[in-house]
Amino acid sequence: MTKAPPPRRPDLHVATEGEFQGWRTWIRDSFESHVGPFWHRVEADGSVRCAFRVEKKHLNGSGNVHGGCYMAFADYSLFAIATHVLDSRAVTTNFSCEFLDAAREGELIECTGEVSRAGGSLIFLRGKMMSGNRQLFTFSGTIKRVKRKAQPQPNA
């Protein structure tokens, strides 16, 4: 049995120029838009690749990518990696990570991963971030599908 494709997403933006031409990002999340931009694309084999180019705003006081930036990008990547099994809104319920190496301004950071298990409401994932052949960060997380709550009606 095949699953119907998710409805068209007005919050999904596709770059039309520059280094990430053809890559996608979500524009509904103000925080990710502020700390990113973070990008993703579906590869020919169906896997998802995420990426961003390190800018000065991503750095800590030592001139390395801030750990919080790694974590924000990993959280973004959880949802991108789950794109084939996620057809509704979701939230991160668990996140674990390992910092392995530092990245500097100008580097391209890429992330790949996999869905370990997708159940009825929970999706378990893991991933890794690389800069070239250097492994920077590994992570695992769980996201939970959530139903949209009905908006309360004003009293008449």
Give residue 66's domain range. Answer: 12-145
Asked whether the predicted pLDDT for residue 3 surpasses 60, the reply is no
Whole-model pTM?
0.86
Q: How far apart are CA 22 and CA 16, in angstroms?
A: 6
Strand, helix or coil for residue 131: strand
In a domain, 5, yes or no: no
Q: How far apart are CA 103 and CA 111, in angstroms?
A: 13
In a domain, 153, yes or no: no
As a dihedral over the C-alpha atoms of residue 19, residue 23, residue 29, residue 31, rounded to 10 degrees, the angle is -30
Residue pLDDT, tens place only, 65-124:
999 999 999 999 999 999 999 877 899 999 999 999 999 999 999 999 999 999 989 999
In a domain, 123, yes or no: yes
In a domain, 3, yes or no: no
Phi-psi region of 80 (alpha: psi -120 to 50; beta: other; left: phi over 0): alpha
In a domain, 141, yes or no: yes
φ/ψ (deg, to 5) at 94: -150, 145
Q: How many domains does the chain have?
A: 1
| DSSP run (H or E) holding 51 | strand 48-53
The token pair that represents 95 in the structure block: 């996140």
CATH number for position 99: 3.10.129.10
In a domain, 136, yes or no: yes
